Amino acid sequence: MTAEQINDKIELCESAMDLILSEGSFTIAQLSEATGKTASQIYSLFPNKKAITEYYYPSLVIRYSAMIGEIEDFESYTISEKLSNFIFTTFDMMEDRREFVEDTFEKMVFKKGCNSEFHQEMTALFKHFFTTDGRIAVSAGFVMKDYFYEFIAREYLDIVKFWLNDDSDGKERSFALTDKLTGFVEEVVYNKVIDKGFDLAKYLISHAGLAKNIPLFGEWITSWFNDNEEENKDE
């Protein structure tokens, strides 16, 4: 799909949101009048009205991805800062359509889990965040598989649901939860302790069998190193 088609889809979706919030619903004729696009043009991008409304959620990620280029030094952000920025920005975006989000988030996104387009777009964005961050510990690569990014995306959905029901002043509990979760994720993937252990294992084993001279620990470290070497070969 071209960038122009994506922009057209977002425009149609946003116009549909305006009509829903002002009129309670919309027709293709109303959408055509609001956007200047013919019915055939609309149907070339969306198969039906339901698809137009459901596109609101993945469009949040697409719009956010476009915003990244406008954020100065975004690539220098830590993984916690990138995740928090995404979460807080989408909070603001959804607040503008809060009534629609409250009515549809559960059925259009939350219950679908990994099967929603929104979840898939988020998973791809989060994967980009992690795989382009040079501060990620080498050992974190053992857990940073597709299921890891899907898990982070699922946690985000839980945060949105929490945010929708948060009655604290200024949604402070939602912001605190976000800070704690993103901080924890950063601690896990930036922690170099296991990396250092792996380096120690390589040193002990490569220097004339030094590991064998360390009772118990030496046996364990040799076994651990050999197991990880085999896993790396298999991959």
pLDDT digits (tens, 9 = 90+) for 110-148: 998 888 899 999 999 999 999 999 999 877 777 788 888
Query: Do 205 and 96 share a domain, yes or no?
Result: no
Q: Are residues 166 and 225 in the same domain?
A: no
Query: Does the pLDDT value for residue 6 go beyond 90?
Result: yes
Same domain for 77 and 151, yes or no, is yes
Question: Do 172 and 87 fall into the same domain?
Answer: yes
Give the range of the structural domain holding residue 177, as residue numbers without chain letter.
57-190
Together in a domain, 65 and 40: no
Query: CA torsion 163→164→168→173, rounded to 10°?
Result: -10
Read off the pTM: 0.80
Sequential DSSP letters for the chain: --HHHHHHHHHHHHHHHHHHHHHSS--HHHHHHHH---HHHHHHH-SSHHHHHHTHHHHHHHHHHHHHTTSTTGGGS-HHHHHHHHHHHHHHHHHTTHHHHHHHHIIIIITTGGGSHHHHHHHHHHHHHHHT-TTS-GGGGGT-SHHHHHHHHHHHHHHHHHHHT--SGGGHHHHHHHHHHHHHHHHHHH--HHHHHHHHHHHHHHTTTGGGGSTTHHHHHHHHHHHHHHHHHH-
| Same domain as 115, residue 43 | no
Contacts of 102 (CB under 8 A, 6+ apart): 164
Task: Render pLDDT for 166-218 as a digit per residue (tens, 0 to 9).
Answer: 999 999 999 999 999 999 999 888 887 655 655 655 555 555 455 555 544 45
**105 and 215 assigned to the same domain:** no
Residue 177 has a pLDDT of 94
* Same-domain pairing of 50 and 137: no
CA distances from 77 to 13, 129, 132, 134, 135 (A): 31, 10, 11, 11, 11
Q: What is the CATH number of the domain that holds 74?
A: 1.10.357.10
One domain, residues 133 and 72: yes
| pLDDT of amino acid 216 | 46
pLDDT value of residue 191 = 82
Let me know: does 190 contact 135? Beta carbons within 8 Å: yes
Give the domain CATH number at 28: 1.10.10
Check if the beta carbon of residue 10 is closer than 8 Å to that of residue 46: no
- Predicted confidence at residue 124, as pLDDT, reads 94
Q: How many domains does the chain have?
A: 3
Q: Cα angle vertex 219, ends 213, 220, to 5°?
A: 135
Q: Are residues 101 and 183 in the same domain?
A: yes
- Please give the Cα distance from 227 to 92 (Å, whole number): 47
Q: Which residue carries 């992690």 as its tokens?
A: 130
**69, 179: one domain:** yes
pLDDT at 30: 96
Residues 3 and 41 in one domain: yes
Residue 232 binned pLDDT confidence (cut-offs 50, 70, 90)? low
